[in-house]
């Protein structure tokens, strides 16, 4: 099996796992990965994560021209923005996961560091997560908003919409977006309670030990 064939299978297996565990639903969500030749594989528009076909993934060459597969997700500007501004990006995943969307509708203490420091794991896997405002689905302005972060964020939360996470590999991106959703769920469970969040010194220690890009 070629490297690209393995990558196609991996994307579909990961997407199916996310769907089966309720992290996205219906035909929501999209996933992409960079190929060895610099092109992209992208999930098709209007297709359920539970039923992706490896042979029908949209294929783009390194110049950004579609050369195969079904029409891609309408969120392509969002994906391209991460690949263009973060050179190490190997995959991007966008979900409509319920707890993170719910949390995005509530007032944020700091939109540039939106996710509460409930556990060390979100900090280790995601760094800071920026809350972006609401955009109409498919609006190219979403990509512009990501580009405006100048590669400083590997994860953003689209208000009233869903999280978008870039990773070195498809597995890393999916693990990180799951951590984001789990942290959002914990934040909602703890809302209004005198919860003990990680303090500044504990966060600084995590940043130092794990070499996390943290400063804006």
Enzyme catalytic residues: 75, 121
Query: Cα(197)–Cα(189) distance, rounded to whole angstroms?
Result: 13
Query: Cα(202)–Cα(204) distance, rounded to whole angstroms?
Result: 5
DSSP one-letter code for 148: T
Query: Cα(175)–Cα(171) distance, rounded to whole angstroms?
Result: 6
Order of all β-strands in the sheet with 66-68 = 66-68, 58-60, 40-42, 30-34, 91-94, 162-167, 155-158, 130-132
Query: Cα(163)–Cα(178) distance, rounded to whole angstroms?
Result: 10
């Amino acid at each position: 099996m070629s490297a690209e064939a393995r990558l196609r299978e991996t994307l579909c297996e990961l997407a199916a796992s996310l769907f089966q565990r309720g992290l996205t639903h219906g035909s929501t969500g999209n996933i992409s990965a960079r190929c060895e030749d610099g092109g992209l594989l992208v999930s098709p528009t209007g297709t359920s994560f539970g039923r992706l076909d490896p042979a029908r993934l949209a294929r783009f060459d390194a110049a950004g021209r579609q050369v195969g597969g079904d029409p891609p997700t309408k969120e392509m500007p969002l994906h391209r923005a991460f690949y263009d501004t973060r050179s190490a990006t190997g995959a991007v995943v966008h979900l409509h996961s319920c707890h993170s969307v719910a949390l995005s509708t509530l007032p944020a203490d700091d939109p540039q560091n939106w996710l509460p420091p409930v556990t060390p794991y979100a900090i280790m896997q995601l760094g800071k997560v920026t809350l972006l405002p609401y955009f109409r689905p498919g609006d190219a302005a979403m990509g512009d908003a990501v580009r405006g972060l100048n590669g400083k964020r590997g994860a953003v939360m689209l208000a009233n919409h869903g999280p978008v996470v870039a990773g070195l590999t498809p597995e890393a991106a999916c693990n990180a977006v799951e951590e984001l959703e789990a942290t959002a769920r914990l934040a909602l469970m703890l809302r209004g309670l005198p919860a003990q969040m990680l303090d500044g010194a504990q966060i600084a220690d995590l940043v130092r030990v794990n070499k996390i890009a943290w400063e804006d």
